[in-house]
Amino acid sequence: MRLSTPTRQSRFPRVSFWLLLILAASLVLNLWGVGYGLPDRLYPDEGRIINIALAFGMGDLNPHYFNYPALTMYLLFFIYAAYFLVGRMMGIFSSAADFQRLFFTDPSSFYLLGRIWVAVTGTAVVAMVYRVAASAYRENKAGLIAALIFAPLPYFVYYSHFVVTDILLLFFILLAYLFIIGIYRTGELRYYLLAAAAIGLGAAVKYSPGMLVVTLVLAHLFRELDSGRRVWRLSFLRLPVLAGAVSVLFFFIGSPYCFLDYQGFLASLELREHIGRWHIFGTGEGSAWLDYPRLLFFHSFSMLNRFDPMGVILAGGLVWALRHRTKIDLLFLSFPLMLYLLMGRWTSGSIRYALPIIVVLALLAGRAIVEAFSAISRLKSEPVRRLARGSLSGVLVLSVSLSLLNTGLINFRLTRPDTRTLAREWIEDNIAPGTALAVEWDTEATVQLWESPEDIASKIEAYETGAASTIHHSSAEMAAVHRMRLEAVPEASYRIIRLGGMDGVTVLDDNYSLEELRARGVEYLVTSADVSRIFASPRGREVYPEQAAFYDRVERELIPAREFLPNPLSGPGPAIRIYRLD
């Protein structure tokens, strides 16, 4: 069923009002709570992306890290370069050293700049949802409803708060879809080139959009068939091959060291496959085939309701598309299908990974709801029409309202102090500087404390003598970074003994002994539930028996001197427990 295109004169002002209202609400939701946790750095991956972006300022543009391509980091580097130039002109920074010192003394402004950029990008994603749905189905209402469905989704808003790759990824996926629709509708060369550029840049954010080349070829095939051309001729491949070459070119532009440092790139691809198959800590088992369908209806972001009715609407859009199977529907479904086949083999599913699938379901749902209302209006019985229209309206209003309420609660919690921040403040108020504390290796998962000057100096020496190294940066660069840290050490610093560590994707067994910790002069042990839960599952106990036994013994023999527990109203974070070892 093809919907008629509304006239610009009769529809545009009204559409503009509702779209601007949705976009304004989206921006408010994305920015509410954007300062979460600062100056502590609590969200995983965020610190790595920001650190690499800032490290480009040391002159090495190779990220030496390819779990994600580099475009997000390069764009962030340009934002920080502008921040430095503006600050220099305003007299905030007198030199690059001042700029660097600020990051180590208080990184809040650097995180806020990145998060605001991502929040604005999230609002741009909502605008793209409208544009793509309206263009694909030639109905502005479909675009508005799709944007209304997607903008308040609590998991979309949550990830729009942090410097991660997923939101920029959605923007380029939708941009590519917009131009792929142009390929199918017109067959013009410019749409092939623009779609290929969007695919290449999207793949330079996160590799998965590279699969959209298949969708591009499918749009080309549909266009050729509709035009009555013979697709088995060699000339059929001319435009797809050109588009493929352009997409590779823009992937290179966005992440050049995937080619220039191809050995590191290939090693990271192997690592990503290992992480997907076995989880980063090697504790994964089974597969995620059923996880992703289940996450539509049951996920941790539904804080007020166990069942998310928005899942019904998103699934309804999929069912409607599968029933009608227009060529536009098939173009939309091709990429999510390929992505699901890839991710379903992994041992665990995450709604963060499913965002590219969910945004397509929102496009389909917007069209399905508009066509459902149209079908209801053609019913002959007035009571039946009223009942059907009221029921559908009620489900939509209820779903959007619950999304807004859950998002509001999550954002409110992001304005509250995290358990890790509360624990750090308690330690700084109650434990003397220089005291030896045992803290887990995963810094984002646990309390973040300043290491003593002696500890930092020993790291500088280790990098300078070659006793320590890292795959991300040279030893000379790491030594320089720690020298800057040494200049910024506050009075409240501690001797930090790390429990465990990472060797590739597995956890080391260093210091998981109460006797060893006491022998090294450790007075306090700090544990985080985000770390201990890794070893709590049967698979975790099998892979890490020493770590599991350590946490069992701590729980059995020690009583917390202080503990900080998350609460839906008081604040987020893992359970943090502080034990006195004597």
Residue 472 included in any domain: no
Same domain, 525 and 402: no
Instruction: In whole angstroms, give the CA distance from residue 523 to residue 514.
Output: 11
Convert 71-100 to b/e letters by CB count within 10 Å (16 or more is b). Answer: bbbbbbbeebeebbeebeeeeebeeeeebb
Residue 186 backbone dihedrals phi, psi, to 5 degrees: -120, -30
Residue 153 included in any domain: yes
Same domain, 339 and 361: yes
Same domain, 355 and 445: no
Assign 571 to helix, strand or coil.
Answer: strand
- Domain end marker among 368, 393, 414: 414
Report strand pairing: 524-528 vs 436-440.
parallel
Please choose, from the candidates 494, 441, 481, the residue with its C-alpha nearest in 3D space to the C-alpha of residue 104: 481
Structure tokens that stand for 57 in this block: 């300022």
The count of structural domains within the chain is 2
Those residues of the chain that have pLDDT short of 70 are: 1-13, 231, 274, 471-472
Same domain, 380 and 507: no
Same domain, 133 and 261: yes
Instruction: In whole angstroms, give the CA distance from residue 413 to residue 33.
Output: 8
Same domain, 213 and 160: yes
Instruction: In whole angstroms, give the CA distance from residue 238 to residue 246.
Output: 13
Residue 152 included in any domain: yes
Residues 6 or more apart from 431 whose CB is under 8 A from it? 437, 494, 523, 524
pLDDT recorded at residue 335: 98
Instruction: In whole angstroms, give the CA distance from residue 478 to residue 469.
Output: 8
Same domain, 516 and 500: yes
Residue 435 included in any domain: yes
Same domain, 444 and 510: yes
- Domain end marker among 352, 384, 414: 414
Same domain, 575 and 433: yes
Largest CA distance in the chain: 85
Residues 6 or more apart from 241 whose CB is under 8 A from it? none
pLDDT recorded at residue 3: 42
3-state secondary structure 207-272: CHHHHHHHHHHHHHHHHHHHCCCCCCCHHHHHHHHHHHHHHHHHHHHHCCHHHHCHHHHHHHHHHH
Instruction: In whole angstroms, give the CA distance from residue 430 to residue 447.
Output: 15
Residue 368 included in any domain: yes
Same domain, 251 and 162: yes
pLDDT recorded at residue 10: 43
Q: Residue 185 sits in which domain range?
A: 38-46+113-414
Assign 439 to helix, strand or coil.
Answer: strand
C-alpha torsion sign, points 361, 365, 371, 376: positive
Beta bridge partners of 525: 438, 579
Please choose, from the candidates 97, 99, 101, 73, the residue with its C-alpha nearest in 3D space to the C-alpha of residue 86: 99
Residue 62 backbone dihedrals phi, psi, to 5 degrees: -85, 120
Residue 526 included in any domain: yes
Whether the full predicted model's pTM is greater than 0.85, yes or no, is: yes
Residue 42 included in any domain: yes
- Domain end marker among 414, 441, 467: 414
Instruction: In whole angstroms, give the CA distance from residue 213 to residue 364.
Output: 21
pLDDT recorded at residue 282: 85
Assign 77 to helix, strand or coil.
Answer: helix
Same domain, 221 and 322: yes
Q: Name the amino acid, one letter, at 427.
A: I
Structure tokens that stand for 13 in this block: 């002002």
Instruction: In whole angstroms, give the CA distance from residue 331 to residue 60.
Output: 40
Same domain, 385 and 426: no
Residue 499 included in any domain: yes
Report strand pairing: 502-503 vs 493-499.
unpaired
Instruction: In whole angstroms, give the CA distance from residue 220 to residue 186.
Output: 10
pLDDT recorded at residue 471: 66
